[in-house]
Amino acid sequence: MATTSKQYKVIGEELWKGRAEKTNAELFALTYGALVVQLIQDYEDYEEVNKQLEKMGYNIGTRLIEDFLARSNIGRCVDFRETGEVVAKVGFKSFLNITPSVTHGGLPIAASPTRSSTASPAPTIPGATFTLTLDENPLAEFVELPEEALEGGLWFSNILCGVLRGALEMVRILTALCLSKFTYHSSDSNAGHGYVYLRCVARGRNDRDQSHPCQVSRGRSSRRR
């Protein structure tokens, strides 16, 4: 069962090539931008916009996973590490034609993951988190956020968070959203360059539906330009 990340890469590329309907990336970016602007106008509150984006993403994710499973023919992941690889190499590749880099990390035991943004302290559960770094973000192709939106705390690509949460939840990896200021600071050094960090943290199991192992994970994303 040791499907290496290289194999996943191949699967992802084949899926992307085999996909019949593709949307123009520019059209996609512009449509998404228009959507976010509309949300901002409607809600006039960045917090609320973030929430709505996440909710939209969740609804997309719950359906997208079926598409993913039907096409990719991938079996159940052994651990959360593998989940991270599949999400990045197959998921993102086949739907958005990008491959975020994955960084696996541990989760500090009995600490709220929200705060543990600095280098991990003492004991950790290995392989309980992964961070996806999107070097190029198709959602933010032509986007330049005004200072006001940045200060207001708009997470432009928050929809990705929701998609991931929804999709993982459907395969019984429960996900909850965790938003921290962490990635804001770290992306400061890359000002002028669009970065998105998605952080997923495995937290527990969901045995609600049936007897399948699954983890709770937390995703987070923010972007800055």
Pick the binder of other proteins from 143, 170, 176, 216 (CB under 8 A): 170
Helices of type H across 154-210: 158-170, 182-188
Least distance (Å) between residue 212 CB and other proteins: 8
Dist. CA 118–CA 121, nearest whole Å: 8
Which of 66, 42, 67 shows the shortest CA–CA distance to 53? 42
Pick the binder of other proteins from 62, 114, 120, 186 (CB under 8 A): 62
CB 219 within 8 A of CB 161: yes
Pick the binder of other proteins from 51, 89, 172, 199 (CB under 8 A): 172
Least distance (Å) between residue 67 CB and other proteins: 6
Instruction: For the sheet with 223-224, list strands across it.
Output: 101-108, 124-134, 195-201, 223-224
Site for other proteins in 179-208 (CB under 8 A): none
Question: Taking the CB of residue 162, how many other CB atoms lie within 10 A of it?
Answer: 26
Least distance (Å) between residue 169 CB and other proteins: 10
**Token representation of residue 7:** 């194999």
Does the protein bind other proteins through residue 70 (CB under 8 A)?
A: yes
Least distance (Å) between residue 149 CB and other proteins: 29
- Give the binding site for other proteins (CB under 8 A): 62-63, 65-67, 69-71, 75-76, 170-172, 209-211
